[in-house]
Every structure is written in structure tokens, then in C-alpha cells.
């Protein structure tokens, strides 16, 4: 059963990876050259979001990582201070 | 030249070319200059993340489990535990 669970996770990751890659590549490289009236434009949000969404996710991610790091360091600092008193 | 130096040089070169494009020093068409060029670093980051996902996912999918090796290993663990228990070592 663990084997099936692993394979399911792997399939999901693979699907997410391919979808994100193709969608974002088309969004940034192809859509700017498509006229505003073509129906394919309806599948993609405006170009502003093509930059806003990854930047936002990056900022949140980096903040989360640094926040977690500082939290852990503060905790271990407090523990060291407690031990020495 | 170490691997880190190679990657660093490639990074610096790509970044330099991108900056030149952003400053308007490269002959780019109107659409490319306004809409495509600024998104290129983000495309690189997204592509890197997607590549990581695809790599992990694919390897998880094709990983072959070997049941015979599993049983053999469990048996060896059991024998080792019995052996150590006889010799008065505290095992589970």
C-alpha cells in the first residue's frame, strides 16, 4: 500500500509540475503576441498577474523561511540563556 | 573551474543580458520589450520549481520496489535480534 501511496504522490507532483510549466510558459511567451480579440486570451488572466502571482508567492515563501529561521534561532537563544542562569 | 563558479558565471551572464534588455540597449520589438522581457527571470524561477516537481514526481512513479529484498532484510534483522538477545544485549 505504501507503494501505491508513493506512486499517487509522484503522479500528482508530475501533473502539477507539467501543468504549471506549460501554462506559465504560454502565459509569458505566447500570449503577448496574440491579438486581444482571439478566444484563447480568455483562458489566461491579464499579463499583470503573470508577474504579480509569482512575485507574491516568492515574497510569502521567503518571508516564511526567514521567519521560521529567526523563530528557531530565538528559541534556541532563549534556551541557552535559561540554561546559563 | 568548480561547478559553483560555472553556475555563477552563467548566472551573471544571463543576468547581465537581461539587464541590458531592461535598459533598452538591445534591439527588441515593442511587445517583447514591454511584456515578455520583464517576466523572464520569473519564468526561470517557475521553470526551476516545475523541473524539481517533475523530477521528483517521475522518479516516485517509476521507483521499483523489490519485495524479495524486503523479506530477506526483515529475516536478517530478526536473526540479528535473536543473536544479540542470546548474548544479553537489550533489543526490542
- Write down the pLDDT at residue B62: 85
Prediction ipTM score: 0.73
**How many angstroms separate the CA atoms of B35 and A33, rounded?**
9
**How many angstroms separate the CA atoms of A50 and A2, rounded?**
38
From the CA of B79, how many Å to the nearest CA of chain A? 25
Q: Does B70 touch chain A if contact means CB atoms closer than 8 Å?
A: no
Mean pLDDT by 10 residues, chain A (85 residues): 78 92 89 78 80 90 96 90 78
pLDDT mean over B27-36: 78
* pTM of this structure: 0.71
Inter-chain touch A10–B56, beta carbons under 8 Å: yes
Inter-chain touch B50–A28, beta carbons under 8 Å: no
From the CA of A80, how many Å to the nearest CA of chain B? 34
**How many angstroms separate the CA atoms of A13 and A61, rounded?**
19
Inter-chain touch B53–A54, beta carbons under 8 Å: no
Chain B residues touching residue A3 (CB < 8 angstroms): 65
Average confidence score pLDDT of chain B:
88
pLDDT-derived band at B23, boundaries 50, 70, 90 = confident
Q: Does A63 touch chain B if contact means CB atoms closer than 8 Å?
A: no
Residue of B nearest to A3 (CA): B65
- Write down the pLDDT at residue A60: 96
Asked if residues B85 and B78 have their Cβ atoms less than 8 Å apart, the reply is no
% pLDDT > 90, chain B? 48
From the CA of A66, how many Å to the nearest CA of chain B? 19
Instruction: Give one DSSP letter per residue of chain B, joined into a string.
Output: --HHHHHHHHHHHHHHHHHHHHHT-S---HHIIIIIGGGHHHHHHHHHHHHHHHHHHHHHHHPPP-HHHHHHHHHHHHHHHHHHHHTT----
- Write down the pLDDT at residue B65: 79
% pLDDT > 70, chain B? 99
Q: Does A13 touch chain B if contact means CB atoms closer than 8 Å?
A: yes
- Write down the pLDDT at residue A85: 67
From the CA of B11, how many Å to the nearest CA of chain A? 19
Amino acid at each position: 500500500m505504501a507503494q501505491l501511496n508513493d506512486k499517487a504522490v509522484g503522479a500528482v507532483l508530475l501533473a502539477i509540475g507539467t501543468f504549471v510549466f506549460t501554462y506559465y510558459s504560454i502565459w509569458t511567451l505566447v500570449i503577448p503576441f496574440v491579438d486581444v480579440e482571439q478566444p484563447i486570451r480568455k483562458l489566461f488572466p491579464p499579463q499583470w498577474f503573470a508577474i504579480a502571482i509569482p512575485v507574491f508567492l516568492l515574497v510569502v515563501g521567503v518571508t516564511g523561511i526567514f521567519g521560521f529561521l529567526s523563530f528557531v534561532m530565538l528559541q534556541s537563544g532563549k534556551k541557552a540563556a535559561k540554561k546559563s542562569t | 573551474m568548480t561547478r559553483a563558479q560555472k553556475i555563477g558565471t552563467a548566472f551573471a551572464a544571463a543576468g547581465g543580458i537581461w539587464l541590458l534588455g531592461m535598459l533598452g540597449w538591445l534591439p527588441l520589438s515593442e511587445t517583447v520589450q514591454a511584456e515578455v522581457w520583464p517576466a523572464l527571470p520569473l519564468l526561470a524561477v517557475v521553470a526551476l520549481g516545475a523541473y524539481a516537481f517533475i523530477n521528483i514526481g517521475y522518479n516516485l512513479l517509476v521507483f521499483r520496489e523489490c519485495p524479495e529484498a524486503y523479506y530477506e532484510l526483515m529475516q536478517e534483522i530478526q536473526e540479528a535480534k535473536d543473536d544479540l538477545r542470546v548474548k544479553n544485549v537489550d533489543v526490542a
